[in-house]
Amino acid sequence: MGGLAEGAVHVAIIMDGNGRWAKRRGLPRTLGHRAGVETLKSIIEACPELGIRYLTVYAFSTENWKRPKNEVSALMGLLVEYIEKELDHLHRKGVRVQAIGDVEALAEPVRRQLAKAWETTRNNDVLYLQVALNYGGRAEIVGAVKALAEKAREDGDFDIGAIDQEAVRSHMYCPQTPDPDLVIRTGGEYRISNFFLWQIAYSELWVTPLFWPDFTPAHLERALKEYKDRDRRYGGVENA
């Protein structure tokens, strides 16, 4: 592996299929999520070698609260356990860990671990790992609109005509992060599920029927290879 992608490649992953993976094995869904954490670990390890500088994983959406209480608390527990066990290792590997989403609404032990992960790793730059938690693309855009409206209210000279894409972007959770080059969805569904609505305007999509626990670095490598062979025109024409 190695040298497949140049520059600051951003891969965003919708890690779907943990529940079905577990069901096929007659296991509780929560064990599917536990297996999903193992996959996440192996994918994080593989990113630097594959030229991936930014990795965003969709771990919990604003809609996931609708799941049974025990599943929600198992997911939050896994997150806390993951950070407790892996933080030193991630730090040694130069991974910066940042949560994106409405993190304030999460339980205190989860917020504490996320804050610790950020404080420990904030100066790392080998891999920027963004964990989307209580994240919703629409909520993020609503937040940006509210922030701009607030500015307009506070500043009598605010020029509404000057609101442009950069102004909106500057109020997203992570304005410094480049838009994803590639969005991978496991589990076979062809939808975005309220993930990164603003940021994926020109992202390439790669969907695999594999369940997330069955996804490996070799699959990631294949997805990147296929992405590199695609012709990204950003609304223009080829070799204009």
User: What single letter denotes the amino acid at residue 174?
Assistant: C
Based on the shown chain and the rule CB under 6 A, indicate whether residue 187 belongs to the binding site for ligand FPP.
yes
Specify the residue, 61 or 177, whose C-beta has the smaller distance to ligand FPP: 61
- Which one from 64, 102, 124, 179 is the annotated catalytic residue? 64
Applying CB under 6 A, among 46, 76, 79, 183 the residue interacting with ligand FPP is: 79
Rg over alpha carbons for the chain, rounded to the nearest Å, is 19
Residue 75 interacting with ligand FPP (CB under 6 A): yes
Choice from 4, 28, 45, 64 touching ligand FPP (CB under 6 A) = 64
Q: Closer to ligand FPP at the Cβ: 37 or 50? A: 37
Please pick, from the candidates 59, 117, 182, 224, the single residue that binds ligand FPP as defined by CB under 6 A: 59
* Interface with ligand FPP in residues 108-167 (CB under 6 A): 131
* Among 14-22, 168-176, 177-185, 232-240, the segment contacting ligand FPP (CB under 6 A): 14-22
Q: How many residues does the chain have?
A: 240
Q: CA–CA distance from 28 to each of 20, 22, 172, 179 (Å)? A: 10, 6, 36, 35
To the query of whether residue 18 is one of the catalytic residues in this protein, the response is no
DSSP 152-206: HHH-TT--GGG--HHHHHTTSS-TTSPPPSEEEE-SS----TTSSTTTTTT-EEE
Which of 18, 62, 177, 203 forms a contact with ligand FPP (CB under 6 A)?
Answer: 18
Q: Rule CB under 6 A: say whether 17 interacts with ligand FPP.
A: yes
Candidates 108, 107, 113; CA nearest to 131 is 113
Judged by CB under 6 A, which of 13, 50, 53, 82 binds ligand FPP? 82
Q: How far is the CB of 166 from ligand FPP (least distance, A)?
A: 30
Q: How far apart are CA 111 and CA 109, in angstroms?
A: 6
Distance from C-alpha of 9 to C-alpha of 5, rounded to nearest angstrom: 7
* Residue with Cβ nearer ligand FPP (102 or 228): 102
Question: Which residue's structure tokens are 């369940």?
Answer: 211
The nearest distance, CB 22 to ligand FPP, in angstroms, is: 8
| Structure-token pair, residue 203 | 């992202």
Residues assigned a catalytic role:
16, 64
